[in-house]
């Protein structure tokens, strides 16, 4: 179990799945529900990030059921947080908030700074996706304050990435870059390859907006390589969206079209209509600003199927 959890952090997801599957089976066979629950929690998180939403939800619900039966409130909190993340990635924000608020309530009762910070960060991500930026920033700032109590480097990197995302949406590019670069450094220290890719892709997006295409391409290609290795398809889709921006800036229009199409096709395949619509509309806006109305019209007609 511990080996699987470590490999998960290090980005060795295929081997982590093998370890965690064995741990779950061992827990079942030896009647060790805590091991079964923890293994299912981690397996559910990996499946969620790989776009296997139904399988992920079954795993996470099983982990939550076991934790409730054991009255293990820390494991309950972690399962609720993972379910909140799953619902958030599906655009099911009401269900996500419900799970994360319950997780936050338990974390506050436990007086666990890390668990409080994770719940606050999850809520902040939802508010970011709902364009409620000031509310999102407040959640991230609260999360940072909690993490300062126990110097949790892993979670601090995650909060900085999400704070950088909000700052970028407000055109606060230098502040955003500072947070993304801090996160890259923190992830290098901890070996969290997944969050490192998130930080790199976030920084790449801002460098694109700043017109620094060379740096953006370097960061984005490294991030996409990691996401591809992990099989994290949603982030592969968003990375192709940014690749399309880069190809547009350099006049590589065929490659731009291929990148944009790849992004939307992945989101269709993942059955994520909220994010499909958001990225499609962003593509349309970008192309219209460049005077490419014919191409913009083509994407505007592309509806989620």
pLDDT at 151: 81
Domain coverage including residue 66: 1-71
d(CA 185, CA 4): 24
Establish how many alpha carbons lie within 13 A of residue 61's alpha carbon, considering only the half-sphere containing its beta carbon: 7
pLDDT at 25: 96
Structure confidence at residue 187 as a pLDDT band (50, 70, 90): very high
Q: pLDDT per residue over 264-302, tens digit each?
A: 999 999 999 999 999 999 999 999 999 999 999 999 999
Q: With b meaning 16 or more CB within 10 Å and e meaning fewer, what string describes 4-18?
A: bbebbeebbbeebbe
| 287 within domain boundaries | no
Q: What is the DSSP letter of 271?
A: T
Percent of all residues in the chain with a pLDDT value above 70, rounded to a whole number: 100
| 40 within domain boundaries | yes
Structure confidence at residue 150 as a pLDDT band (50, 70, 90): confident
pTM: 0.88
| 125 within domain boundaries | no
pLDDT at 114: 96
| 268 within domain boundaries | no
Residue 305 has pLDDT above 80, yes or no: no
pLDDT at 144: 94
| 129 within domain boundaries | no
Residue 30 has pLDDT above 90, yes or no: yes
Q: pLDDT per residue over 52-109, tens digit each?
A: 999 999 999 999 999 999 999 999 999 999 999 999 999 999 999 999 999 999 999 9
d(CA 131, CA 196): 24
pLDDT at 149: 86
d(CA 132, CA 93): 13
Residue 250 has pLDDT above 80, yes or no: yes
Residue with tokens 């921006």: 245
Torsion of the alpha carbons at 53, 139, 166 and 228, rounded to the nearest 10: -30
Q: Determine phi and psi for 90, rounding to 5 degrees.
A: -90, 0
Average pLDDT, the chain: 96
| 216 within domain boundaries | no
pLDDT at 166: 96
Instruction: Give how many domains the chain has, as a whole number.
Output: 1
pLDDT at 130: 94
Average pLDDT, stretch 166-180?
A: 96
pLDDT at 9: 87
d(CA 259, CA 246): 10
Rg (CA), the chain: 19
| 20 within domain boundaries | yes
d(CA 238, CA 121): 20
Q: pLDDT per residue over 188-228, tens digit each?
A: 999 999 999 999 999 999 999 999 999 999 999 999 999 99
The enclosing domain of 3 has a CATH number of 1.25.40
| 212 within domain boundaries | no
């Amino acid at each position: 179990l511990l080996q699987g959890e470590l490999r998960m952090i290090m980005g060795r997801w295929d081997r982590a799945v093998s370890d965690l599957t064995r741990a779950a089976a061992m827990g079942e066979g030896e009647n060790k529900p805590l091991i079964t629950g923890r293994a299912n929690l981690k397996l559910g998180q990996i499946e969620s990030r790989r776009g296997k939403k139904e399988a992920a939800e079954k795993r996470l619900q099983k982990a939550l059921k076991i934790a409730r039966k054991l009255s293990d409130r820390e494991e309950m909190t972690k399962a609720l947080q993972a379910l909140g993340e799953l619902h958030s990635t599906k655009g099911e924000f009401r269900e996500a908030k419900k799970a994360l608020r319950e997780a936050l309530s338990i974390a506050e009762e436990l007086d666990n700074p890390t668990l409080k910070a994770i719940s606050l960060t999850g809520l902040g991500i939802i508010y970011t996706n709902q364009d409620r930026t000031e509310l999102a920033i407040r959640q991230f700032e609260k999360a940072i304050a909690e993490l300062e109590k126990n110097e949790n480097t892993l979670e601090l990197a995650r909060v900085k990435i999400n704070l950088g995302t909000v700052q970028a949406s407000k055109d606060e590019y230098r502040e955003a870059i500072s947070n993304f670069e801090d996160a890259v450094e923190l992830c290098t220290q901890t070996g969290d390859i997944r969050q490192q890719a998130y930080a790199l892709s976030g920084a790449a997006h801002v460098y694109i907006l700043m017109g620094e295409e060379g740096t953006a391409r370097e960061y984005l290609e490294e991030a996409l390589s990691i996401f591809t290795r992990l099989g994290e398809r949603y982030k592969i889709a968003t990375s192709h969206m940014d690749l399309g921006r880069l190809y547009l800036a350099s006049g590589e229009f065929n490659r731009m079209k291929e990148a944009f199409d790849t992004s939307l096709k992945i989101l269709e395949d993942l059955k994520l209509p909220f994010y499909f619509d958001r990225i499609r509309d962003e593509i349309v806006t970008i192309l219209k600003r460049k005077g490419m109305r014919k191409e913009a019209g083509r994407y505007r007609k592309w509806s989620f199927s």
